[in-house]
Amino acid sequence: MAENILEQGLGSLVPVLSEWYNCQLVVELRNYGEMLFCREGSKQIMKLSIMQPYYFPYIAYFQLIKAVDKFVIYDNIQFTKSGWFRRNRLLDNGKEKLFTIPVKKDSHYLNVAQRELAGNFDLESKTILRRIEATYRKAPRYKKVMPVVGECFQRGSGNLFQFIYTSLLLLLRFLEIDTDIIKSSSIDIDCALKGQDRVLAIAKSLNADIYINAIDGQKLYSREVFRNEGMELNFINTKPIVYRQFGDKFIPGLSIIDVMMFNSREQIKGYLNHYNLLD
């Protein structure tokens, strides 16, 4: 098998992983000039990604989850108002508009898992649900999707992270994505580590072979550093995804709720694979 691969020539091959269990050989072909990397052993290649918790995130977030075997969600990182911990975008009269869940005022130095939802969360969540209902009532998948969205709010606890985490699990169940989801606080590493060092520590702790990051991380992580640690570094680059909304003008980058309202589960599964991996 390996001889046949070599005979094809390596220069024009796209990244591919081929496992040969009978001979306990894993052949990795990477488009780094004419280099062939071979690893001994019969273990399966493990792909990992790590992300902050997002509130009803956009579809690229779910592409990243589906692309890996294990997905670590940070719960022991600092909460920031400017992030996507408690807000996202939906349609509103043909335009995008932010919708935000209220968070109790507290120290800016607390981790996201230490932040609590505001006392008026129940009232505000009903307002958000009414707004979603009014916007998407005539969407083709409204009757199937709205109960899932409602359950996300109903099962949310008073804790911000737990609300996001529970909602994510419910959405993954609906989308039939079975990736292993791991809270970062459950991984025994030095929590004082930051940035790339923290990612590497988590990846090494979980025995990752390939780390896949969102495309925005290209300036944050070094392929050489990962390679020196025995791992490959890839970036997921979402291809344009366009579907029919209510109007003639398509508004991209909205919450997964928008995608679910206008597309069948099978269509969404196609979107989840609509990306390139950059190595």
**Domain locations in the chain?**
12-44, 47-278
Distance CA 95, CA 278 (A): 32
C-alpha–C-alpha distance, residues 100 and 102, integer Å: 6
Whether the pLDDT of residue 45 is over 70: the answer is yes
Look at residue 191 in the predicted model and tell me its pLDDT.
85
Among 48, 44, 56, 53, which residue's Cα sits nearest to residue 19? 44
Place 94 in a pLDDT band, splitting at 50, 70 and 90.
confident
Alpha helices for the chain (secondary structure H)? 2-7, 59-66, 121-136, 142-154, 160-175, 195-205, 223-228, 256-262, 265-272
Evaluate if residue 65 carries a pLDDT over 80.
yes
Partner residues linked to 100 by β-bridges: 87
- Please give the C-alpha separations between residue 138 and each of 5, 150, 246, in angstroms, as whole numbers: 52, 17, 9
CB-based contact 51:60 (threshold 8 Å) = no
pLDDT at 44 (0 to 100)? 87
**At residue 198, does pLDDT exceed 90?**
yes
Angle between helices 142-154 and 160-175 (to 10 degrees): 150
The confidence score (pLDDT) of residue 38 equals 39
Q: What local confidence, expressed as pLDDT, does residue 43 receive?
A: 63
Mean pLDDT of the chain: 86
Model confidence at 39: pLDDT above 80: no
112 touches 79 (CB < 8 A): yes
DSSP 185: G
In terms of average pLDDT, the best of 107-111, 123-127, 140-144 is: 140-144
Tell me the C-alpha distance between 128 and 194, whole Å: 35
Burial of 185: CB neighbours in 10 Å, binned 0-12, 13-18, 19+: middle
For the question of whether the overall pTM of this predicted structure is more than 0.85, the answer is no
Return the top range by mean pLDDT from 30-34, 92-96, 99-103, 230-234: 230-234
Closest CA relative to residue 160, chosen from 222, 74, 236, 221: 74
Provide the terminal-to-terminal Cα distance of the chain, rounded to the nearest Å: 24
